[in-house]
Amino acid sequence: MSTTISMAELLKKALDKASSMGVEVTRQGSLILNEQTAFRLVSKLLEELGVIYLSIKEAVKEYPDLVEKYGLKKVKIDLREVNNGVFIYVPKNTRLIDPVYNCFVLASKGFVQKVYNLVIVDDGSEVVGVTGCLSLVHEAIHSSHEEAYVGEESKYYKIMVHNWLPKVVVSAIKRVTLMSEASYYDYYINSTSLNRMSFITDVFHEGGRSSSRIDQVVIGSEKSKLQYITTTYLSAPGSNTEIISRVLGMGESYVETRSSVVAIKPGVRGHVECRGLLISDKATIAAIPILKSGVSDSTLTHEASIGKIKIDEVEYLMARGFSEDEAVSLIIRGFLETGLDKVPEKMKPVIRATLDKLSGAKM
Amino acid sequence: MAELLRIEGASVSVDNAAIVRDASLEVGRGEIAVLMGPNGSGKSTLLKAIAGLPEYRVVSGKIIYCGNDITQLEPWNRARMGIALAFQNPPKLYLKVGDLIDRLSKIYGSTDLVNDVVKELGLSQLINRDLYIGFSGGEIKRVELALTILMKPKLALLDEPDSGVDVDSIKRIAMYINRLAEENVGVLIVTHTGYILRYIENLGRGYVMINGRIVYGAPSYEVVKKIMVSGYGEFNKVGGVN
Ligand SMILES: Nc1ncnc2c1ncn2[C@@H]1O[C@H](COP(=O)(O)OP(=O)(O)O)[C@@H](O)[C@H]1O
Ligand SMILES: [Mg+2]
């Protein structure tokens, strides 16, 4: 038996209450985690449904057993140093059809934000987690760790929208464990420039026939130096993975996508696609697909390419009635549009709007 | 037949290399005209110059469309004035077929045609695919024709609409071409095999291009007959009528 819970109503209630209490609520209804009041409200409402949604600090106190059982398995950090983060526990056979938002805001200059998120999707459940990270100040450091456990036959959708400012330094680590027949879907988009970013994603396929798909849309602009290191470990038979990255090189940016699939058990499939589109002559893209296998019965494939917009592509669209600028925008928009069909319906408009904005403002 | 397109002694260069030389031809409203010629003779180059693609420069001569000299006009303006080109070898793009269809049908006010065109040209399986990535030759031709129709053209330039297409699809494509002409659209078909022409109801003028020159002009059926009988060899000897 599975329970389907619509969070829309819950969130709406919570947000209405929150704004009547003078709590700042951002446009897409995402919650600013720092605002404890609003966060508590949603958490209370979800709690009635068996879902635990708390700040990590509270979770450590209130649910030490859960934190002990699932937490800090693939991520080693000292919780005492953590100053922010969420804890989400979705009980067995529970489908949350609306996204669970959390939003990290860098609000004070020079602030070092250390985040640890723990997401547990128990067997037979489904959740969409949306993280929007943004900064309101120019100089800050964000360091985040996320650990997710996806139980048997569960689905975890992770949508992440990065929205930083040019001097911000970010280091993020995300580790996901998949049990048998679990699915993990990860959509990432970085839409603004920042100083430096290192983003490590590791997906551990520990259960048989588990699957993962990771789409990364990365915009390198100005002087950003961005590095994405993504690895999926196919440690259980019959599991499969796809890692797809699309990088737009603008300004004087450097973007590296290093995506690896490691086949450990037989009967696994993996595919890596790294593509770059250079808009600026001063930008650099490193598209690095890596396949590792020690088992003969595995199918690993990759594609990689880096190119610039071709004149015949622009001409083709111009002959269909688009101006040169429109044609270039369409080409960029199309290039960046990967994995959108897999994004949960509720999130599509937000992602589309971000993509439209990005492709329109191409320089 | 009312005049729609008149090319007067146009020479077209690509990368400073003269490809088409001193070409003249005419297409009337509702006429299905035909341009034939061996591979590499410059047919596609001429069509792209009519569509106004910047790489295909008209270095001398004129293109008159609807009575106006459009030789210097931007390609998108020509498209919006009713000139639509179905490419022989369109580029592959990360752009969903359905997305492009949506955009074009909105721009050209042809949303009411979409369902029909998609159905009759058998495109429903292709809607969610990226434009031409992994498409078969026949699929490319059907999508190109569909996009051209959705631009509601006054002048349709069809570059080898029959190459790589199976018999059933050729009939369907020909049916659309016939329909365009019935709706008073001028059509210029480029074909080196002439295969599709057997399904075209009212053929208009025919032209033969050899080595960048239009060497022969006559009613299409005569041109086709001549080519069927003796290939393009005969025209090589003629050397040019312009
Ligand atoms: N973009 C281009 N760059 C360089 N050469 C071209 C280009 N387009 C066409 N050509 C050359 O012009 C000649 C005519 O080509 P094309 O117009 O495609 O002939 P056809 O369509 O009759 O087969 C060929 O020699 C071809 O190589
Ligand atoms: Mg050609």
Q: State pLDDT tens for residues B83-141.
A: 999 999 999 999 999 999 999 999 999 999 999 999 999 999 999 999 999 999 999 99
The ipTM of this complex is 0.95
Same-domain status, A260 and A278: yes
For residues A209-221, average pLDDT = 96
Same-domain status, A87 and A206: yes
Neighbours of B182 (CB within 10 A): 11
- Residues A29, B201: Cα–Cα separation, whole Å: 61
Q: Which residue has 């290939």 as its token pair?
A: B231
Neighbours of A280 (CB within 10 A): 16
For residues B64-76, average pLDDT = 97
Same-domain status, A133 and A222: yes
Q: Tell me, yes or no, whether A123 lies in a domain.
A: yes
Q: Tell me, yes or no, whether B122 lies in a domain.
A: no
For residues A253-268, average pLDDT = 97
Q: Tell me, yes or no, whether A27 lies in a domain.
A: no
Q: Verify whether ligand 1 is closer than 6 Å to residue B21 (CB atom).
A: no
Window from A68-82, A156-170, B208-222 with minimum mean pLDDT: A156-170
Q: Tell me, yes or no, whether B71 lies in a domain.
A: yes
Question: Which of A319, A331, A333 lies closest to B75 in CB terms?
Answer: A319
Task: Kindly tell me if the per-residue pLDDT of A234 is higher than 50.
Answer: yes
Q: Tell me, yes or no, whether B48 lies in a domain.
A: yes
Please give the residue range of the domain that contains residue B10. 3-89+155-237
Same-domain status, A208 and A326: no
Which stretches within chain A are classed as H helix? 7-20, 36-47, 56-62, 64-70, 311-319, 324-336, 348-360
What pLDDT, on the 0 to 100 scale, is given for residue A143?
Answer: 85
Same-domain status, A265 and A323: no
What pLDDT, on the 0 to 100 scale, is given for residue A137?
Answer: 65
* Number of domains chain B contains: 1
E strand residue ranges, chain B: 3-14, 17-28, 32-36, 56-65, 68-69, 83-86, 155-159, 186-191, 203-210, 213-219
Q: Tell me, yes or no, whether B140 lies in a domain.
A: no
- Residues B19, A111: Cα–Cα separation, whole Å: 64
Same-domain status, A184 and A327: no
Task: Kindly tell me if the per-residue pLDDT of B167 is higher than 90.
Answer: no
Q: Verify whether ligand 1 is closer than 6 Å to residue B105 (CB atom).
A: no
- Residues A131, B214: Cα–Cα separation, whole Å: 63
For residues A65-94, average pLDDT = 90
Give me the CATH number covering residue B45.
3.40.50.300
Contact A125, A90 (CB under 8 A): yes
What pLDDT, on the 0 to 100 scale, is given for residue A228?
Answer: 97
Task: Kindly tell me if the per-residue pLDDT of A103 is higher than 90.
Answer: no
Window from A328-332, B21-25, B167-171 with minimum mean pLDDT: B167-171
What pLDDT, on the 0 to 100 scale, is given for residue B200?
Answer: 95
For residues A100-110, average pLDDT = 66
Chain B nearest-CA residue for A321: B76
Q: Tell me, yes or no, whether A43 lies in a domain.
A: no
Q: Tell me, yes or no, whether A137 lies in a domain.
A: yes
What pLDDT, on the 0 to 100 scale, is given for residue A302?
Answer: 97
What pLDDT, on the 0 to 100 scale, is given for residue A43?
Answer: 72
Which residue type does B4 have? Answer: L
Q: Residue with the nearest Cα to atom 24 of ligand 1?
A: B40
Question: Which of B79, B93, B108 lies closest to A334 in CB terms?
Answer: B93
Window from A107-111, B2-6, B103-107 with minimum mean pLDDT: A107-111
Q: Tell me, yes or no, whether A24 lies in a domain.
A: no
Same-domain status, A235 and A151: yes
CA of B242 to the centre of ligand 2 (A): 21
Task: Kindly tell me if the per-residue pLDDT of B240 is higher than 50.
Answer: no
Q: Verify whether ligand 1 is closer than 6 Å to residue B42 (CB atom).
A: yes
What pLDDT, on the 0 to 100 scale, is given for residue A232?
Answer: 98
Angle of helix B137-150 relative to helix B97-107, nearest 10 degrees, comes to 20
Q: Which residue has 């996806």 as its token pair?
A: A150
CA of B190 to the centre of ligand 2 (A): 8
Please give the residue range of the domain that contains residue A316. 311-363
pLDDT band of A301, cuts 50, 70, 90: very high
pLDDT band of A196, cuts 50, 70, 90: confident
What pLDDT, on the 0 to 100 scale, is given for residue A55?
Answer: 85
Q: Which residues surround ligand 2, an ion (CB under 5 A)?
A: B 44, 88
SS3 A215: strand
* Number of domains chain A contains: 2
Q: Tell me, yes or no, whether A315 lies in a domain.
A: yes
Task: Kindly tell me if the per-residue pLDDT of A140 is higher than 80.
Answer: no
Same-domain status, A339 and A198: no
Which comes out higher in pLDDT, residue A133 or B93?
B93
Q: Tell me, yes or no, whether A347 lies in a domain.
A: yes
What pLDDT, on the 0 to 100 scale, is given for residue A2?
Answer: 36
Same-domain status, A283 and A354: no
pLDDT tens readout for residues A39-48: 666 677 777 7
Picking from A284, A310, A336, the residue at the C-terminal end of a domain is A310
